[in-house]
């Protein structure tokens, strides 16, 4: 129940009294100050006239008795030093004026006679008549007009300080009124308002401040003790409720959501309508975890679970939810992946590779080096499924199948599992290939329109120890989607530079340019420029003989950053070529910002230009664009004489394709060079 809001009246009354008294005293004091100041100014001005008479008396004597006109300038100079002096007229004893002075330098007609001694105030001017003495003789009189400070002048001069000081007085009065009012009414009002606040806000953590050392202080202290006791009781109950709620939904060891919360969250996601069609769920189980517990103890086992949980959270930050649903089982849910099922499957493959990377590293626990293995059940499910329990059951079934068949993973769909297994096997073999250097560079020569060679493109090939040479499409997408791209990309770049250095020793090939494909992720590396410079320096090759080929689609990531990196490569005199031109970044207006040497027409347009009018127009447009922007244009995928002749007709001068040369190992390229 809200009580009446008492505000008290003593404070208002006391404030009025103090404010009235201080205001009255202030204005009386200021009035007296101004009067005293005016009288002081009068005396000071009168004293000044006497000083002026003394200062110029000797010069006036020379002017009057000796008729020395030259001293008039000295008199004027001395009078100018008195800033308050407006004008002055010097009269002889017979009343005739012999000298006049005005502050502005203008002549004027004297407006009165000079008395022997006297003062008169007219507005802001003080008129003074003073006799002139020299050597005890009275030889004339000087009549002066000086600037005079009036009551109003003084009042206006100090108006701003007056207002500020008055505001200070008002503030001080308010403070005094407030201070003394507290002594009488505030302790009670403070207690009433405090209790009302506690009642309205229901916050028991409030405490009333104790500033009194009397009965009120003791009362406040008892109220605070009572509130603290109530708060502690309520806090204990809330903490107990929170702990029960937390244990109901979260795993106490890892802090991850448990099975109940996972299912609840997943069901909510299913009920929510999404634009994407396919979703992913992985169920991860630690192989022989019970054996690990028996060998090393539950404390070590718990630490392994915690380390694995942290690794999953770090590696899969992009997923929707990670949960721990059993003693050694984890769930990873990736909702809203794609409308394309094939893409979702590729995403699962990527996630499996990342899981493989996690468990390939040892866990160090209390000085023990532990290696674990996992089984994974994978499920790519459609949004048409409406039951979280059904999805979980399918995924768990895939996991049980993986454990039963002692495989690293198993898919709910056997068709998907077969494809994923092939890719995972290739990934594992690639890890070995990088260590054992199973890769080889092939070279596809590039031609001018007169048939002469001007360079080549370096193309990576993998000589698998059991499968032989694998087609690039079998392994390059896996390399580019994993961290292997950094090691493999550096290997290609270094070996290409090594071959360029060998070509420099042959007069037939020393002018050849070697093109190296660089993936989007590789080009985006922070140290990519350093890697390129290191390879060039190591093999001491001319910078302009190396050509970096980047995909046109790379420019769509961060155009400004990519252009800056391209610019730095061009400053090093390294050539840049845009590969697959016409298929990626369609905003051709950005071409003017690209400091590149070459654009390469994508082979899909070359294949279709003889039969398809649209492809023909695209090819012609790209060639014309190259001419307009002064880029070299090279056509790839030239496989027939008809292609070659037609491209020459369109104005293309550089070519690459099976019509001229296939990708070959360096041994066959050297045979071609020997015949040149």
pLDDT mean over 10-35:
74
pLDDT tier, 586 (very low <50, low <70, confident <90, very high otherwise): very low
Could you tell me which residues come within 8 angstroms of residue 613 by beta carbon, excluding any fewer than 6 positions away? none
Q: Is the pLDDT of residue 63 over 70?
A: yes
> Higher pLDDT residue, 262 or 539?
539
Is 229 found in the same domain as 193?
A: yes
- What order of strands is seen across the sheet that includes strand 374-382? 321-324, 329-338, 278-286, 374-382, 409-411
pLDDT for residue 60: 76
CA distance linking residue 87 with residue 189, whole number of Å: 70
pLDDT for residue 217: 66
Q: What is the pLDDT of residues 220-237, one digit of tens each?
A: 677 777 777 776 767 766
Instruction: Name the pairing type of β-strands 513-518 and 468-470.
Output: unpaired
Is 479 found in the same domain as 369?
A: no
Residue 584, domain member (yes or no)? yes
Q: Is the pLDDT of residue 137 over 80?
A: no
Burial annotation 128-142 (CB, 10 A radius, 16+ → b, else e): bbbbbebeeeebbbb
Q: Is the pLDDT of residue 417 over 70?
A: no
Residue in 637, 583, 650, 607 with CA at minimum distance from that of residue 457: 637
Is 368 found in the same domain as 270?
A: yes
pLDDT mean over 47-61:
77
Q: Is the pLDDT of residue 437 over 80?
A: yes
Three-state secondary structure readout of 258-284: CHHHHHHHHHHHHHCCCCCCEEEEEEE
Mean pLDDT of the chain: 81
Residue in 35, 302, 279, 45 with CA at minimum distance from that of residue 148: 45
Residue 7, domain member (yes or no)? no
The burial class, CB within 10 Å (0-12 / 13-18 / 19+), for 23 is middle
Could you say which of 224, 249, 274 is where a domain stops? 249
pTM of the full structure:
0.48
CB atoms within 10 A of CB 653: 17
Residues of the domain holding 317: 259-433
Q: Is the pLDDT of residue 201 over 80?
A: no
Instruction: Name the pairing type of β-strands 598-601 and 632-636.
Output: parallel
Could you say which of 249, 282, 304 is where a domain stops? 249
pLDDT tier, 1 (very low <50, low <70, confident <90, very high otherwise): very low
> Higher pLDDT residue, 484 or 235?
484
Is 485 found in the same domain as 406?
A: no
pLDDT mean over 637-664:
93
Q: Domain of 457: which CATH number?
A: 3.20.20.450
Residue 5, domain member (yes or no)? no
Is 68 found in the same domain as 149?
A: yes
Query: Strand, helix or coil at 572?
Result: coil
Is 512 found in the same domain as 656?
A: yes
Q: How many domains does the chain have?
A: 4
> Higher pLDDT residue, 204 or 631?
631
Q: Domain of 319: which CATH number?
A: 3.30.70.270
Is 581 found in the same domain as 502?
A: yes
Q: Is the pLDDT of residue 566 over 70?
A: yes
Is 586 found in the same domain as 558?
A: yes
pLDDT tier, 3 (very low <50, low <70, confident <90, very high otherwise): very low
């Amino acid at each position: 129940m809200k009580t009446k809001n008492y505000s008290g009246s003593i404070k208002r009354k006391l404030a009025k009294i103090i404010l009235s008294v201080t205001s009255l005293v202030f204005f009386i004091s200021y009035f007296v100050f101004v009067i005293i100041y005016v009288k002081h100014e009068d005396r000071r001005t009168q004293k000044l006239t006497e000083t002026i008479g003394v200062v110029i008396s000797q010069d006036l004597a020379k002017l009057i008795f000796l008729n020395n006109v030259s001293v008039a300038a000295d008199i004027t100079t001395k009078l100018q030093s008195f800033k308050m002096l407006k004008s002055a007229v010097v009269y002889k004893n017979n009343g005739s004026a012999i000298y006049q002075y005005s502050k502005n330098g203008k002549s004027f007609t004297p407006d009165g006679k000079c008395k022997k001694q006297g003062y008169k105030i007219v507005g802001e001017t003080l008129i003074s008549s003073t006799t002139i003495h020299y050597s005890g003789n009275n030889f004339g009189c000087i009549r002066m007009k000086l600037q005079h400070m009036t009551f109003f002048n003084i009042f206006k001069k100090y108006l701003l300080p007056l207002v500020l000081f008055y505001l200070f007085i008002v503030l001080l009065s308010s403070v005094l009124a407030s201070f003394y009012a507290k002594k009488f009414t505030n302790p009670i009002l403070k207690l009433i308002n405090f209790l009302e606040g506690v009642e309205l806000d229901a916050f028991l953590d409030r405490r009333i401040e104790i500033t009194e050392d009397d009965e009120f202080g003791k009362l406040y202290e008892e109220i605070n003790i009572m509130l603290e006791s109530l708060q502690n009781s309520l806090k204990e109950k809330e903490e107990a409720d929170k702990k029960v709620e937390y244990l109901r939904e979260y795993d106490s060891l890892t802090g991850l959501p448990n099975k109940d919360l996972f299912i609840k969250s997943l069901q909510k996601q299913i009920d929510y309508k999404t634009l994407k069609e396919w979703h992913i769920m992985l169920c991860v189980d630690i192989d022989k975890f019970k054996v690990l517990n028996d060998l090393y103890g539950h404390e070590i086992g718990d630490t392994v679970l915690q380390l694995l949980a942290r690794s999953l959270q770090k590696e899969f930050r992009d997923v929707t939810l990670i949960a721990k649903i059993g003693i050694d089982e984890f769930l990873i849910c990736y909702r809203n992946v794609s409308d394309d099922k094939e893409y979702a499957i590729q995403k699962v493959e990527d996630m499996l590779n990342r899981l493989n990377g996690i468990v390939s590293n040892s866990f160090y626990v209390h000085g023990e080096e532990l290696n674990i293995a996992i089984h994974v059940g994978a499920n790519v499910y459609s949004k048409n499924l409406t039951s979280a329990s059904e999805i979980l059951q399918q995924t768990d079934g895939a996991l049980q199948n993986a454990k039963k068949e002692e495989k690293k993973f198993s898919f709910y769909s056997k068709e998907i599992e077969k494809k994923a297994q092939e890719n995972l096997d290739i990934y594992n073999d690639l890890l070995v290939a990088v260590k054992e250097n199973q890769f080889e560079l092939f070279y596809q020569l590039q031609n001018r329109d007169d048939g002469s060679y001007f360079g080549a493109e370096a193309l990576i090939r993998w000589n698998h120890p059991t499968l032989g040479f694998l087609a690039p499409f079998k392994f390059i997408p896996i390399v580019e989607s994993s961290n292997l791209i950094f090691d493999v990309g550096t290997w290609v770049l270094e070996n290409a530079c090594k071959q360029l250095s060998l070509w420099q020793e042959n007069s037939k090939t020393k002018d050849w340019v070697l093109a190296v494909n660089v993936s989007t992720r590789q080009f985006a590396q922070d140290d990519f420029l350093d890697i390129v410079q290191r390879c060039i320096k190591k093999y001491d090759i001319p910078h302009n003989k190396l050509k970096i080929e980047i995909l046109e689609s790379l420019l769509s990531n961060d155009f400004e950053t990519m252009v800056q990196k391209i610019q730095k490569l061009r400053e090093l005199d390294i050539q840049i070529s845009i590969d697959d031109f016409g298929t990626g970044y369609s905003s051709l207006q950005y071409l003017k910002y690209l400091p590149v040497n070459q654009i390469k027409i994508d082979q899909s347009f070359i294949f279709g230009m003889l039969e398809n009018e649209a492809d023909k127009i695209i090819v012609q447009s790209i060639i014309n664009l190259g001419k307009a922007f002064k880029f070299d244009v090279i056509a790839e995928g030239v496989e027939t004489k008809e292609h070659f002749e037609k491209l020459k007709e369109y104005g293309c001068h550089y070519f690459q394709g099976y019509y001229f040369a296939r990708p070959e190992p360096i041994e066959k390229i050297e045979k071609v060079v020997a015949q040149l």
